[in-house]
Amino acid sequence: MAENENEINQPENETKETAYRGPWGLLIRGMWRTPLGLFGVALTTISITLMLVGLVIDQLGFIHNPYLGVIIFMILPGGMVTGLLIIPIAAYLRRRQFHKFGISRDHLQINLSDHRHRKFVIGFVVLSVINISILGIIAYEGYHFTDSAYFCGQVCHQVMEPEYKAYQRSPHVRVPCVECHIGPGADWFVRAKISGLRQVLAVITDSFSRPIPAPVTHLRPARDTCEHCHWPEKFHGKKVKIFNHFSNDDQENPEVHEIALHIGGRNPQTDEFEGIHWHVSANNEVSYLAVDEKRTQIARVRVKRPDGSFSEFVKEDIEVPEGTELEWRVMDCIDCHNRPTHIYDLPEERVDFGLLSKAINPEITGIREDSLIAINKQYETREDAQENMVNHLVNLQTLRNPENVEEHGDDIKKAGEYLLKTYLDNVWPELNVQWGTYMQHLGHQHEDLGYGCFRCHDEEHNNEEGDTITQDCSLCHDEPDF
């Protein structure tokens, strides 16, 4: 402070030349000599240094922590820019203070024939280029970072854990989230970042929906996402799929359903679209009107065919509420493949798979029934399941037959561990994600809950000619032998 006052008192005695340096000199010194200016300079320097160190560590792949990314690509650049803004503000405030004391009323001017000014201008330009380059690199890397599956799935860790976990064991695990959720183009990018901000806010204020609702109403149409990698015209022909079902009465010999699905596509021999992928051919358009948000109650279905003909199929017993704005939806990949990557299992499937793969020893009496009870139990939290599920299975077996436990103790524990892992892959009680919260539309195994092909293929949607949308088994797959 004392030094400052000295300075303030001095200028009258200065020579003309130093007086001329006045406004610039004061401005530049303003950057260093006030606490605010010093803070700005320190903030910028520290931010840049840490950012560069972080960038190198990140590029070398040493650290696998999503929060490091948030710090390097969001917080530190914020610090750097704030620091850079504070410096001229500090200088301006100091200059104004000097003005108040009437020290120098000169205007700032740049005189390039003055070597000090030249040095100042060159220094300023060089520093700016360096700063802008650093910000550019950070923005580029940060853009990729916020688009990575890693960021989407892990930074909002707790919120999207179910989706991330299911994604990690799916056929699309190498496809970044943004390929399906944002797709190419600037407008969707901006929309996604805006809705992303809203979501971050919902996470911070803990006001996000539990579970996250499906279907996603504003999902980008499949032609802009799925069809960038998959070609609807591709002829898949038939695909054989085998389903194994055990029962409590027979844990050792599965009932096998082998079916050949008529996936189809554009048949190269006939040049016609056929089979299941007929719905997504460019020549046909199937659209539908659902009366519920889950799209399980389909009241009307329209078909436009390549020859220009048109049919509307109506299901009389689903009432279309009047006055509400229901939207016709053109069928695309998502109406069948609603779970291409967030594929959740069902308990019975997993228990049967355990028996088939011998993770659950089928020789233990009653193990199928007890496994289903243990895995379906409503645990309060995932920790609760971790602590109690294995014991629960052992207790059920003890009640059934204590000798079972003596003979197969280790196998029962092993079965319990398998069930627990499956449970932890699929259930998050704290987020209200239970078994069956997110169901598939691919087949008709869960038609009773309104999922799958039989939403339309139920022989109950009639057109004017009295035709229905057929449920003939051989339309979609070779008839299974039972």
Residues 167-226 that bind ligand HEC (CB under 6 A): 167, 171-172, 175, 177, 179-181, 212, 214-216, 219, 222, 225-226
The footprint of ligand HEC on residues 119-158 (CB under 6 A) is 149, 152-153
| Shortest Å distance, C-beta 399 to ligand HEC | 31
CB of 433 to ligand HEC, least distance (A): 9
CB of 361 to ligand HEC, least distance (A): 24
Residues 452-481, interacting with ligand HEC (CB under 6 A): 452-453, 455-457, 467, 469, 471-473, 475-477, 480
Asked if residues 41 and 48 have their Cβ atoms less than 8 Å apart, the reply is: no
Choice between 12 and 317, CB closer to ligand HEC = 317
Report the alpha-carbon distance of residue 359 to residue 420 in Å, rounded: 12
Which residue, among 167, 169, 163, 154, has the nearest Cα to 350 in the 3D structure? Answer: 169
Nearest-approach distance from CB 293 to ligand HEC, in angstroms:
11
To ligand HEC, the closest distance from the beta carbon of 343 in angstroms equals 8
Q: Per rule CB under 6 A, is residue 86 in the interface with ligand HEC?
A: no
* Interface with ligand HEC, residue 254, by CB under 6 A: no
Binding ligand HEC (rule: CB under 6 A), the pick from 118, 119, 157, 228 is 228
The verdict on 315 binding ligand HEC (CB under 6 A) reads: no
- Shortest distance in whole angstroms from residue 153 CB to ligand HEC: 4
Determine if 298 is a binding residue for ligand HEC (CB under 6 A): yes
User: Out of 27, 138, 192, 303, which residue is the one contacting ligand HEC (CB under 6 A)?
Assistant: 303
Three-state SS string over the chain comes to CHHHHHHHHCHHHCCHHHHHHHHHHHHHHHHHHCHHHHHHHHHHHHHHHHHHHHHHHHHHCCCCCHHHHHHHHHHHHHHHHHHHHHHHHHHHHHHHHHHHCCCCCCCCCCCCCCHHHHHHHHHHHHHHHHHHHHHHHHHHHHHHHHCCHHHHHHCCHHHHHHHHHHHHCCCCCCCCHHHHHCCCCHHHHHHHHHHHHHHHHHHHCCCCCCCCCCCCCCCCCHHHCHHHHCCCCCCCCEEEEEEEECCCCCCCCCEEEEEEEECCEECCCCCCEECHHHHHCCCCEEEEEECCCCCCCEEEEEEECCCCCEEEEECCCCCCCCCCCCCEEECCHHHCCCCCCCCCCCHHHHHHHHHHHCCCCCCCCCHHHHHHHHHHCCCCCHHHHHHHHHHHHHHHHHHHCHHHHHHHHHHHHHHHHHHHHHHHHHCEHHHCECCCCCCCCCCCCCHHHCCCHHHCCCCCCECCCCCECCCCHHHHECCCCC
Q: Which of residues 338-357 bind ligand HEC (CB under 6 A)?
A: 338, 340-342
Per CB under 6 A, contacts with ligand HEC among 360-389 are none
Please, what is the minimum distance in Å from the beta carbon of residue 224 to ligand HEC? 9
Is there binding between residue 95 and ligand HEC (CB under 6 A)?
A: no
| Residue nearer to ligand HEC on the CB measure, 96 or 234 | 234
**Residue 282 engages ligand HEC in binding (rule: CB under 6 A):** no
289 binds ligand HEC (CB under 6 A): no
Rounded to a whole number of angstroms, the minimum distance from the CB of residue 275 to ligand HEC is 5
Closer Cβ to ligand HEC, 364 or 469, answer by number = 469
Binding residue count for ligand HEC, defined by CB under 6 A: 78
Pick out residues in 385-444 that bind ligand HEC (CB under 6 A): 438, 442-444
Smaller CB distance to ligand HEC: residue 392 or 477?
A: 477
Least distance (Å) between residue 249 CB and ligand HEC: 17
User: Is residue 300 part of the contact set for ligand HEC (CB under 6 A)?
Assistant: no
Pick between residue 89 and residue 473 the one whose CB is nearest to ligand HEC.
473
**Should residue 261 be labelled a site residue for ligand HEC when binding is judged by CB under 6 A?**
yes
For residues 366, 369, 372, 374, the Cα torsion angle rounded to the nearest 10 degrees is -60
Which residue is at the shortest CB distance from ligand HEC?
A: 443
Radius of gyration of the chain (CA): 34
Under rule CB under 6 A, residue 257 binds ligand HEC: yes
Of 38, 445, 458, 462, which one interacts with ligand HEC (CB under 6 A)? 445
CB nearer to ligand HEC: give 298 or 360. Answer: 298
Residues 130, 119: contact at Cβ < 8 Å? no
Of residues 287 and 398, the one with the C-beta less far from ligand HEC: 287
Cα separation, 354 vs 308, in Å, equals 51
Q: Cβ of residue 263: shortest distance to ligand HEC, in angstroms?
A: 5
* Interatomic CA distance for residues 151 and 144, integer angstroms: 10
- Cα–Cα distance between 462 and 180 in angstroms, integer? 35
Q: How far is the CB of 394 from ligand HEC (least distance, A)?
A: 30
Work out which of 288, 418, 423, 428 binds ligand HEC, going by CB under 6 A. 288
